[in-house]
Amino acid sequence: MINGSDNAVASGATDPRAVEQWLKAGVRVVNHPWLHAKVYVAGRTAIIGSANVSERARTGRIVEAAIRTTDSETVAEVREFIDDLIRGGGRDIDGDWVKAAKRLFPTKRVAPPWEPTPPPLTAPFRLWLGWWNAEPRGMSPVQENTYKAAVGELPPTYRVRARYEPDGRIEGLDADGFFQRGDMVVMLQARNAQLVEFWESRLAGQGRQKSIVGVYLRDNRLKRSVTNADVRRALEAVGSELPEEEEPDFGRWLDQPAERQAVLDLWGLEDPGEP
């Protein structure tokens, strides 16, 4: 099993030429795009450590550590761990993957830095439910430049590409410092709701022209169409309700487990809890 994500290949971390050799030798190769574990099983032996199957690890250019065990219970658990990964998100690699990966793989000796694809929402996060302006439009030139500068500094994984897309919002000055990076936000708009991750707030302009541009990230895997009415019904089912638009801060934190899960269910997510 390898990390055959576009990021891993484009950075040079995964070499499709080596994968092609395995396929030609009859080896089954499985791609898991979130893989970071270094676990190996051969017969009755398991190795768990930090080393990749790479030239740098082989030649000792970097310091690695690993544990080698023949304990039958441990080896069985390691095999089960690998099987679970295959069942949970693995896809068999074929010749079509090799062709596409070769186009992504860097031909220069110096590969770009690897920006690992972020994992699913498994880390605990705070969850805010509130009302927003319907669309991220109407920015002044100063606000637009501030937003573009913020997007230009995002890691490559978060820029406009297949999985993530940045979203800019004009907000009041009191919004500065309200959210923390990693907070999740349910934006109630004119009709539809969207779930986004807060990235940062930036001050735009000077003097009386100051404003805050909020930068959020949309995960394009969450393509379910969710309306405000859907959110309202989900909350009513657990004895709660939508915040009023005139409430302080135009919303509230969802801190009750039943509320959080009811809302996250609309996007097919399990609640990992609060930090």
Domain of residue 145, CATH code = 3.10.590
Any idea which residue has 């820029």 for tokens? 159
For residues 82 and 136, membership in a common domain is answered with no
Distance from C-alpha of 55 to C-alpha of 19, rounded to nearest angstrom = 14
Same domain assignment for residues 201 and 261:
yes
Could you tell me if 63 and 165 lie in one domain? no
Same domain, 136 and 38: no
Residues 82 and 149 grouped into a single domain: no
In a domain, 139, yes or no: yes
Report the number of distinct structural domains present in the chain.
Answer: 2
Tell me how far apart the alpha carbons of residues 8 and 14 are, in angstroms, rounded to a whole number: 6
pLDDT of residue 57: 59
**Stretch 232-248: mean pLDDT:** 86
Q: Quote the pLDDT of residue 167.
A: 78
| Same domain, residue pair 28 and 59 | yes
What number is the average pLDDT over the span 49-64? 66
The C-alpha atoms of residue 170 and residue 139 are separated, in whole angstroms, by 7
- 152 and 249 inside one domain: yes
69, 104, 139 - which closes a domain: 104
Range of the domain at 245: 127-267
Domain presence at residue 225? yes
Beta carbons within 10 angstroms of residue 208's beta carbon: 5
Comparing 63 with 203, the larger pLDDT belongs to 203
pLDDT level of residue 155 (50, 70, 90 thresholds):
low
Average pLDDT over residues 36-56: 80
State mean pLDDT over 124-149. 77
Cα distance between residue 241 and residue 14, in whole Å: 48
| Cβ-proximal residues to 180 (8 Å cutoff; 6+ apart), any chain | 126, 198
* Mean pLDDT score of the chain: 80
Q: What is the mean predicted confidence (pLDDT) over 197-209?
A: 79
Is residue 158 in a domain?
Answer: yes
The secondary structure of residue 160, as a DSSP letter, is S
The pLDDT of residue 112 is above 80: no
pLDDT for residue 256: 94
Is the CB of residue 133 less than 8 Å from the CB of residue 160? no
Q: Does a structural domain hold residue 243?
A: yes
Amino acid at 66: A
- Residue 141 domain-assigned (yes or no): yes
The answer on 92 and 55 residing in a single domain is: yes
Task: Please check the confidence at residue 196 and state whether its pLDDT lies above 80.
Answer: yes
Same domain as 206, residue 167 = yes
Q: Is residue 143 part of a domain?
A: yes
Q: Are residues 147 and 251 in the same domain?
A: yes
The verdict on 83 and 139 lying in the same domain is no
Domain membership flag for residue 153: yes
Closest to 173 in 3D by CA, of 216, 196, 143: 143
In a domain, 111, yes or no: no
For residue 67, what are the CA distances in angstroms to 36, 49, 56, 63, 124? 17, 6, 19, 14, 30
Which amino acid, residue 215?
V
- Lowest pLDDT segment from 12-16, 100-104, 179-183, 243-247: 243-247
Residue matched to tokens 């004895």: 239
Do 91 and 133 lie in a common domain? no
Instruction: Say whether pLDDT at 138 is over 80.
Output: no
Split at pLDDT 50, 70, 90, the class of 51 is confident
Report pLDDT for 150: 77
Q: Are 216 and 199 in contact (CB under 8 A)?
A: yes
pLDDT at residue 207, rounded to an integer: 66
3-class state of residue 56 by DSSP: helix
